[in-house]
Amino acid sequence: MDKTPLVSIIIPNFNHSRFLRERLESVFNQTFEDFEVILLDDASTDNSVEILEEYAKDPRVSHLVVNKENSGSPFRQWQRGIELSQGKYIWIAESDDSCDPDFLLTCVAMMKNNPKAVIAFGGSITIDENSSKIEIDNDRWYDKRFKRRQGECRVFDGIRYITHNLIWINYIYNASGTLFRRDAYGDGSEFESCMRMRNAGDWLFWSIMATKGDVIEIYRKLNRFRFHSGSTTREGVNKGKSNGNLFDEDFIVLRHIFENTRIPILRKMIRLGALMKKIQRAQMSEEDRKAAYLKGKELLKYNKKDYLTERISKTLSNFIPGISTIRNDRL
């Protein structure tokens, strides 16, 4: 490439040949054109590499890296792509998703207009394995708020975004709908723990990234997020289905947030109580439940007071506005 691109688009792939052409076409047909594309394959066993080699002929592709052995974590592919990137902004375009032609144009403009921002992310239309829209809305803007803010954005202080939003759940749920600043990643040493994860690495990644600057929410659905009917991992935790080990990474993320941001005591107790409730209600054997509970207690030091505080707060929130709950606390 003759000049340094403004955006580096990283496309990490593993066995998504079925969706890969749709993904690549949506990237190469962006109305914003100042970008490079980094293609990564994590030892796919389908015909993904054949497709990637075809698209690698495009001059906008700066790298095609094919692993001989699987890395063991999707976030290792993020790390590799970021290391190769040249752009000021990074877009990790997951290989099974797709997007609106104006995705980059919109996100880049938002970042340029808000120089303190390190993350900009928008909404997603959820699609199935046949690329048909399905009625699952993962954008946690709630109906009234979304209708009021359609086509607009809001800028949040990153620390407040963590202590009010990311403390509860990973609101930045899909990397494909997100643009972030390369310089906020630095040499990557702060993010190394994310790369060892299999499920919650993105939640921890955004929780670290948000400490570097502001976060922009864009109230437009410019991304197409693919829902897989047989998906596991994070979905299993979110629906309360677990063998116990899937809570381990949640514990790590919350411990990081508690250790690196100032959380009011009451909010921390309520959050820990909510986690205890989640473990209590998860579909798992009693042996796994006990193991998960004890591991969480060791890492996060929660106790029965936290659980009771959460239960009381949840009840009072029906009568007293402003009581901390996942719904009420969200900025």
Residue 40 has pLDDT above 70, yes or no: yes
Cβ atoms of 130 and 226 closer than 8 Å: no
Encoded tokens for 75: 């976030």
Encoded tokens for 52: 């990637």
Q: pLDDT band at residue 244, thresholds of 50, 70 and 90?
A: low
pLDDT of residue 317: 85
What is the tens place of the pLDDT at every residue in 66-84? 999 999 999 999 999 999 9
pLDDT of residue 131: 93
Q: pLDDT band at residue 321, thresholds of 50, 70 and 90?
A: confident
Going by CATH, does the domain composed of 7-226 fall within 1.10.10.10? no
pLDDT of residue 243: 55
What is the tens place of the pLDDT at every residue in 85-116? 999 999 999 999 999 999 999 999 999 999 99
| pLDDT (average), residues 109-133 | 96
Residue 206 has pLDDT above 50, yes or no: yes
- d(Cα 129, Cα 127) in Å, to the nearest integer? 7
Q: Where are the domains of the chain?
A: 7-226, 234-329
What is the tens place of the pLDDT at every residue in 304-318? 999 999 999 989 888
What is the tens place of the pLDDT at every residue in 208-234? 999 999 999 999 999 999 998 765 434
**Contacts for 109 with CB less than 8 Å, ≥ 6 apart:** none
Q: pLDDT band at residue 245, thresholds of 50, 70 and 90?
A: confident
Residue closest to 176 by CA, chosen among 226, 229, 109: 226
Say whether pTM exceeds 0.85.
yes
Mean pLDDT score of the chain: 91
pLDDT of residue 257: 98
Q: pLDDT band at residue 21, thresholds of 50, 70 and 90?
A: very high
Whole-Å CA distances, 50 to 17, 41, 80, 315: 9, 11, 21, 56
Lowest mean pLDDT: which of 150-154, 170-174, 208-212? Answer: 150-154
Question: Percent of the chain at pLDDT above 90?
Answer: 82
Residue 179 has pLDDT above 80, yes or no: yes
Question: ∠ at Cα 184 (180, 190), nearest 5°?
Answer: 115
